Structure 1
Amino acid sequence: MSVLQNYPASSFYDEMMADAESTRPHYEKFHRILQQMTEEELHEKHETAQLNFLRQGITFTVYHKDGGTERTMPFDLVPIIIPPDQWETIERGAKQRVRALNHFLEDVYNGKKILEDGIIPREFVENNQYYFEQQAGGLSLPHKNHIYLAGIDLIRDNEGTYRVLEDNLRNPSGMSYVFQNRFVMRKVFPEFFFEHDICTLEHQMSHLHQALLSHVPENSKNPQAPTAVLQTPGMYNSAYYDHVFLAQQMGIELIEGQDLLIKDHVVYMKTVRGLQRVDIIYRRIDDEFLDPKEFREDSALGVPGLVEACRRGNVSIVNSVGNGVADDKAVYAFVPDMIRYYLEEEPILPNVDTYFLRDEKTREDVLSRLPELVIKNVGASGGYDMLIGPQASPEEIERFRKKIQETPEQYIAQPTIQLSRAPAFQEQRFYPCHVDLRVYAVGSDDVHVLPGGLSRVALKEGSLVVNSSQGGGGKDTWVLRKGGSEHA
């Protein structure tokens, strides 16, 4: 008797099940091993996995009106398995997208040719809240690379087609969970790994480190062995665990703004042995708080004079200043045009259809169909200030109607995509949950994509919101190898 015997069939594309009776070919081995376990065993292993996350301090912070709450990332034992041919498409599509977005950032801060040629309306860039022309314009960047780390969010529609939902080019979080999900999965469910040939994550962190060290500033005194640091807002940031993990794994110092000092436009780190020159800063704080001389004067997190030190070629800041203009939810709609314009290629990964609400006719059409659409604030992230029409109450719909009427330029609309789903084992039973995939691309001279990524799952039954801050969890992501014997 199948452990998935009561798993409901539906019109959604299911990652694991081809229909109510059979699994997809690349899940057959996994399903066969799963069949050999009782529900009691699965429940015990599930609890062990959650305990592993707790013991290792793998947490994030959820903010609400009464403050912040520290939580462990909910973990689900059913992995997302991606066969080699599908992964090849994802990998090529992610690389193509990041290359085009990097060209766009270099262009809009050094010439604006794409605006002059009318490919993107000028106001979408120049009136964008994340476009910092004064601070980022004319910066000389190593490799002309603005995007050290990108997080490209993918979904699958009900035809099984991967689509890009969002580009995260400022401070994409969650990479630590990719590695910890694999670690916990191998520890608690070793039997699943014996018969699967999975792309390894073993050397990915050293690749990330080497890419970081390649961003040597023009005036570095030690270009062969530059000093890199990871700058965090501190322990109260929601992604602090991510910061700690990445710094530890790359073997670089985790610092806060107060640990840095600038003398003669050169950045130094305070140490017990005195000042040490810093060449590269992987910053995990937002632009607005980076430098009180250039951005918010009241920022206690930033370092006065940091941007000027970068401007003079004495330090590299990655991801670069001003990247937010390229991952804005309105500019997102033009990424396929960027690919055609800069690369002279057709997009490999399609977008989700997007409607701009500045146009009166479009706005009226959207307002008449709010119960069936998704509305997003172009400046928000993490699932905040978003309306999912089919799941919204009449009161929520009317609230968003007023918001759109008051500031239509602040919102976009998209159709409610039939997000793919996968089985999740929670509360001692299997049930279908919607999933997406955040793919991480690392840029320097070339773009490298980590095999797999962070599969996020909407664990609340029926929910379409996968963000951990909104009740979502994570799954391990397996990319099957074409050949060889290297294992995860």
Structure 2
Amino acid sequence: MTSGGHVREPYKEVMKWIEQTDPNLIHQKHRQAEALFRQIGITFAVYGEGGDSERLIPFDIMPRVFTATEWEKLERGVKQRARALNAFLWDVYHRGEIILSGRMPGKLVYQNDAYEPSVVGFSPSQKVFSHIIGVDLVRTGADEFYVLEDNCRTPSGVSYMLENREIMMRLFPQLFRTNRIMPVDNYPGLLRKTLKSVAPEKCDNEPTVVVLTPGAANSAYFEHSFLADQMGVELVEGRDLFIKGDFVFMRTTRGPRRVDVIYRRIDDAFIDPLCFRADSLLGVPGLMNAYRAGGVQICSAPGAGVADDKAVYTYVPEMIRFYLGEEPILNNVQTWRCSEADDLKYVLDNLADLVVKEVHGSGGYGMLVGPASTKAEIEQYRLRILADPEDFIAQPTLALSTTPTYVEQELAPRHVDLRPYCLVGESIELCPGGLTRVAMREGSLVVNSSQGGGVKDTWVLSN
């Protein structure tokens, strides 16, 4: 919806259908969607709150709609960002030219917890470190898109994107007959193609791809198993793999089978107890030796996390200029780095009006939304910032656009963001859609499922 509360042109057909449909039928469809989510088992884990740790994610039956023209700009901007981020990752693990040029402080990279010395000097296949990039975007009331953050390690949520579409097509087939909506169901095929395209040179035959999961207790296990099933590849845990020489093998009922590409959903610290945390029971001992010897490809690469640090994010426009010689197509949200004295002073003076985030935070945890916080909460957060300014960045509370959302049996505007998924391998692919997250509570700007947010289908209309 526009800042004036008017429905944008792409929504006209959907709104027309809503107006012509019995409200009782719409409510019935809403209940059916909830039942399908529960039947399929689409849940997420909430840690540290006690009680039931598994919750059903709220699903909104009203889609978010983009025109082909709007999407074309987003696609160019996201792909540009993916190219620059991968150029940055290759650079900082090799010559570090962006640091030597003075365009970016070395401390921010080389003293970053996500920087992995174990891969310095190593070049993964195609020089790609981050193979699946989720770029979080917001649209302001002024109808401009801005990037909130980049997710270069293992961005989650793509299973929701696919299941959202499946459920919408089952519940509202007539809407898909009257609207030319670009498909998203080819994402698993694109992901498998991308993963195979970065198989190591030592791969002799058709590459064998696996999804490496920490196990059923992980909050994103549904997605791990879902993607493995959709790609037609094996879902494995660390105990299912072993190293022999420079190669990785999978235990099967027919004997060992060589693995060429691992789509890992395990954090760096746990993937190899011989290289990282010695107490890890989730990884594969010796995996990093096989990786560095060129016997296996790990996607995304160990060390890719330094590119989605929220302080590093502030330099992405400069990366685009430095590595690509281009101007950014998508702008960052204005961001203040508390590690810098002037920025710190501004943030402390304006905490009540800002959103403050931990540099390494995720999931909506550990952040302050100034306008929605009490004076006591703001003062408590001020002490946290003063104790370690380098651990925080701040952004303005943007006038985010809203979309029509089905809440309490009626349509109401709610704030949203968007996470499209960019696949980087031999080529760069962007699925025409993405995960739209919606703040279900009125006035809330926090869309994370862990904080009460929901999801909705994302439509890209074809010309």
TM score, norm. by length of structure 1: 0.93
Q: Which amino acid aligns with 1:121?
A: P
2:21 counterpart residue number: 37
Q: Which amino acid aligns with 2:107?
A: E
Offset, 1:18: 7.4
The SS at the match of 1:433 is: strand
Offset, 1:38: 2.4
1:76 counterpart residue number: 60
Deviations for 1:18-57, whole angstroms, at most 9, x for unmatched residues? 745x532221111111101222111111000110111111
Out of 307, 332, 349, the position equivalent to 1:351 is 332
> What RMSD in Å do the two structures reach over aligned CA positions?
1.2
Q: Which amino acid aligns with 1:151?
A: G
Distance 1:270 1:454 in 2: 35
Contact 2:334 2:395 in 1 (8 A): yes
The SS at the match of 1:64 is: coil
Greater displacement, 44-53 / 140-149: 140-149
Greater displacement, 369-378 / 22-31: 22-31
Distance 1:239 1:382 in 2: 12
Distance 1:25 1:435 in 2: 18
Structure-2 change in CA distance of 1:399 and 1:313 (3 Å): same
Distance 1:25 1:409 in 2: 43
Q: Which amino acid aligns with 2:153?
A: R
Alignment of 1:166-185 (within 5 A): 166-185=149-168
Offset, 1:172: 0.4
Deviations for 1:178-234, whole angstroms, at most 9, x for unmatched residues? 111011011111222121001112323212111111111122232xx0111000011
Alignment of 1:271-286 (within 5 A): 271-286=252-267
Contact 1:457 1:473 in 2 (8 A): yes
The SS at the match of 1:271 is: coil
Distance 1:75 1:231 in 2: 28
Alignment of 1:62-73 (within 5 A): 62-66=46-50, 69-73=53-57
Distance 1:176 1:289 in 2: 23
Contact 1:18 1:24 in 2 (8 A): no
Structure-2 change in CA distance of 1:68 and 1:141 (3 Å): farther
Offset, 1:426: 2.0
Distance 2:367 2:51 in 1: 21
Q: Which amino acid aligns with 2:451?
A: Q
Distance 2:236 2:412 in 1: 43
Deviations for 1:401-429, whole angstroms, at most 9, x for unmatched residues? 00110000000111111121112112212
2:142 counterpart residue number: 159
2:179 counterpart residue number: 196
Contact 2:246 2:294 in 1 (8 A): no
Q: Which amino acid aligns with 1:288?
A: A
1:466 counterpart residue number: 447
Q: Which amino acid aligns with 1:164?
A: V
Alignment of 1:219-298 (within 5 A): 219-222=202-205, 225-298=206-279
Distance 2:317 2:342 in 1: 24
Deviations for 1:144-197, whole angstroms, at most 9, x for unmatched residues? 111211101000112010000010000101111111101101111122212100
The SS at the match of 1:103 is: helix
Is 1:113 matched with 2:97? yes
Distance 2:338 2:189 in 1: 44
Count matched residues: 463
1:476 counterpart residue number: 457
The SS at the match of 2:47 is: strand
Mind listing any 5+ residue stretches in structure 2 that lack a counterpart?
none
Is 1:312 matched with 2:296? no
Distance 1:409 1:25 in 2: 43
Greater displacement, 371-380 / 23-32: 23-32
Distance 1:217 1:68 in 2: 43
Contact 2:75 2:430 in 1 (8 A): yes
Percentage of pairs with the same residue: 48
Mind listing any 5+ residue stretches in structure 1 that lack a counterpart?
1-13, 483-488
Deviations for 1:75-101, whole angstroms, at most 9, x for unmatched residues? 101111001111000000000000000
Greater displacement, 211-220 / 175-184: 211-220
Contact 1:230 1:284 in 2 (8 A): yes
The SS at the match of 1:193 is: helix
1:144 counterpart residue number: 127
Offset, 1:68: 6.0
Is 1:57 matched with 2:38? no
Distance 1:474 1:66 in 2: 24
Offset, 1:67: 6.8
Distance 1:285 1:413 in 2: 29
Q: Which amino acid aligns with 1:54?
A: R
Contact 1:110 1:138 in 2 (8 A): yes
1:3 counterpart residue number: none
1:46 counterpart residue number: 30
The SS at the match of 2:25 is: helix
Contact 2:310 2:359 in 1 (8 A): yes
Distance 1:418 1:239 in 2: 31
Greater displacement, 189-198 / 239-248: 189-198
Deviations for 1:365-420, whole angstroms, at most 9, x for unmatched residues? 21111000011000110101100000011121111100110000000111111121
Q: Which amino acid aligns with 1:163?
A: Y
The SS at the match of 1:337 is: helix
Offset, 1:140: 2.7
Distance 1:214 1:180 in 2: 26
Contact 1:232 1:240 in 2 (8 A): yes
Contact 1:229 1:280 in 2 (8 A): yes
2:405 counterpart residue number: 424
Q: Which amino acid aligns with 2:182?
A: C
Q: Which amino acid aligns with 1:257?
A: G
Distance 2:104 2:7 in 1: 44
Is 1:329 matched with 2:307? no
1:299 counterpart residue number: 280
Greater displacement, 23-32 / 317-326: 23-32
Structure-2 change in CA distance of 1:113 and 1:164 (3 Å): same
Distance 1:117 1:317 in 2: 30
1:442 counterpart residue number: 423
Q: Which amino acid aligns with 1:323?
A: A
Offset, 1:62: 1.4
Greater displacement, 342-351 / 63-72: 63-72
Out of 362, 367, 380, the position equivalent to 1:381 is 362
